[in-house]
Structure 1
Amino acid sequence: MTRPSRPARVLASALAAGTLLATAACADESGTPEASTVSPAAERSPAPSATPALTGAGAQAALITPADIEDDWQLANDAATWRNTMLVGKVDVAQFLTAKADAADCQRLLDGLYSDSLLGRTTGASGLRGFTSEDSRLLYQVGDYGSANLNATLDWLKSLPEKCNQFTATAADGSPRTVQVVEYKEPPKVGDALAALTVTVQGTSNGQPAKTTLDVTVFRVGASGAAVTNGGLSGVDHDSTVLALQNGAQRLKDVLSGKTPAPLPSQFD
């Protein structure tokens, strides 16, 4: 079917409109534009950053206190120098028959836990605080790491229960250590994103059988994040991990929104 041609008056109108538009963009005889068009986008000021950067004072204010985790936790003065020798070991690569690259992830986990560097390097301010209760330790770290880096760390941690479910590492004295990595079941929903594991290491310490269990959790709020590592030779108190996550996330949110965290934590049901 042949499409009918447009009436001549329609084409004439379109040509006239095009001529008017072209004329409006031209300069008058004095060289001054007769009209200028500014796009709405150019008139708008740049959008503010979605999440403010964490300052040094803010990082310290975002750190949890003994009141946030309750029970018998005491503030420690030497948390920055803590090193758990049960986490020292060289992963047996031969166990990873079909995925040797996974061995590198397992080694990174052990090394990161030993050196308290799971979150990597900060891009801004950071803070660290430790607590002790009998033979258990709880370490809380907070800092500005960048959202992309934190998301990559969270994705990596979430992959470990499959990659590193159980493996053997050789201690400095040549003795074997069995490491198990499982998903932390039903962690509290905090921050913008969260990864939660429970890591168990069995072997010997000073020639005696030993077993240490740790909750290893990381969450992100904007470009800032925090890590909670909690446990020891007597096992792990999951309730303290939950409180550290809940109250820590609230403190970080308050600081990033310009508020002062409450001296006492909120009560969670």
Structure 2
Amino acid sequence: MTRRTVRLARVLSTALTAGTLLATAACAQEGGRDTGASGVSASPAAARQQTESPTGSPTGSPTGSPTGSPTGSPSGTLSESGAETALITAADIEDDWTQVKDTEAENWHDGLLIGKVDVSDFLSAKTDAADCQRLMDSLFDDDLLGKPSGANALRGFTQDDSRLLYQVAAYDRTNVQDSLEWMAKLPQECGQFTMTEDGEKRTVQVTRTDVPSVGDAREAVRISVSGPVDGTEATLTLDVAAVRVGDNAITVTAGGLDGDEHDSVVSAVKLGTQRLQDVLAGKSPAASPSQFD
């Protein structure tokens, strides 16, 4: 199915003037991805991600569990209906978020994330640059933990010029744990670097953030991307968190041109993890959050 493309300059100009954060694209073309910008090709890392495992880990089920996983963790198989039930609602996150149609959230892509990482910024050039390129590509493609191996559901929310995307999915445990360990290295390996797109340079900063100690393993980072958009400087700030629960995980990405949405990410992580644990244990998630009562 062919995507209808939109020029990057027009998309991001609209983001600045009319509050539209993300460039909307349609279905991915077979064998690659459309960037949402006319004439822009996918980066090498993005092209590889369409067919490769995100970590290079074996695809078979692992034996045992990663060190440090608490005993008694939910081990049920996540079904498609279970993944849908485990999704958060607008009542589960702070502030004034509005849920959007799932089809709209599936097609959110931000043009400021497009670009080729400058290898010269790194001491361990090829290795670190590849990890940073993978980060930017996976943020654009909404597959930070790699491709799910089973059930998968997502939900999107908007608030002024910010957006929040929440995903629940089943993975191979080895692969998703490797992805979390990869995330843990990003603030050190990708602290600050430069991306180039159509001759324009963008500065990217990656820092570590904190989220509640929930689930079996978790990681969180903040990504800030600054660069010119039609001659005007713009900064996109995204808070990203992922939590593993058994062979499953939740991923939260929130932010925009307005900046900090960390509190909403913390709320989504705390309540979302509990919802997923309840579903895996065969329980009905709580109808409304208690932390805001």
* Common topology (TM > 0.5): yes
1:268 CA drift (Å): 7.0
Which residue number in structure 2 is paired with residue 92 of structure 1?
118
Secondary structure, aligned partner of 2:106: helix
**Per-residue displacement from partner, 1:174-222 (whole Å, max 9, x unpaired)?**
11000000100x3211111000101100002233110011101110000
Judged with a 3 Å threshold, the aligned counterparts in structure 2 of structure 1 residues 98 and 148 are, in CA distance, closer, same or farther, namely: closer
Q: Matched residue of 1:246: which SS?
A: helix
- Cross-structure match for 1:105: 131
Aligned to 1:234: 258
**Residue ranges of structure 2 left out of the alignment (5+ in a row):** 1-72
RMSD: 1.5
CA contact (8 A) 1:198 1:213 kept: yes
SS at match of 1:240: helix
1:178 to 2:211 alignment? no
Which residue of the partner structure matches residue 185 of structure 2?
159
Aligned pairs for 1:115-130 (under 5 A) are 115-130=141-156
Work out whether 1:148 is the aligned partner of 2:174: yes
Note if contact 1:137-1:232 (Cα within 8 Å) is conserved in structure 2. yes
Corresponding residue number in structure 2 for 1:7: none
Q: 2:142, 2:77 → 1: CA distance?
A: 22
Write the distance in 1 (CA, Å) between the matches of 2:234 and 2:213.
32
Moved over 4 A (4+): none
**What is the alpha-carbon distance in structure 2 between the residues aligned to residue 64 and residue 132 of structure 1?**
14
| Deviation larger for 128-137 or 258-267 | 258-267
Residue 75 of structure 2 is aligned with which of 51, 71, 91?
51
Aligned positions of 1:71-90 closer than 5 A: 71-77=95-101, 78-90=104-116
Identity across matched positions, percent: 54
Of 218, 223, 248 in structure 1, the residue corresponding to residue 247 of structure 2 is 223
SS at 1:53 equivalent? coil
What's 1:26 paired with? none
Q: Aligned partners of 1:268 and 1:249: how far apart in 2?
A: 17
Say if 2:112 and 2:225, in contact at 8 Å, map to a contact too: yes
Task: Give the TM-score taking structure 1 as reference length.
Answer: 0.79
Q: Highest Rg: 1 or 2?
A: 1
Q: TM-score, normalized by length of structure 2? A: 0.72
Structure 1: which 5+ residue stretches go unaligned?
A: 1-48
Instruction: For residue 64 of structure 1, give the secondary structure of its aligned residue in structure 2.
Output: coil
Between Structure 1 and Structure 2, how many residues are aligned? 219
SS of the residue corresponding to residue 130 of structure 1 reads strand
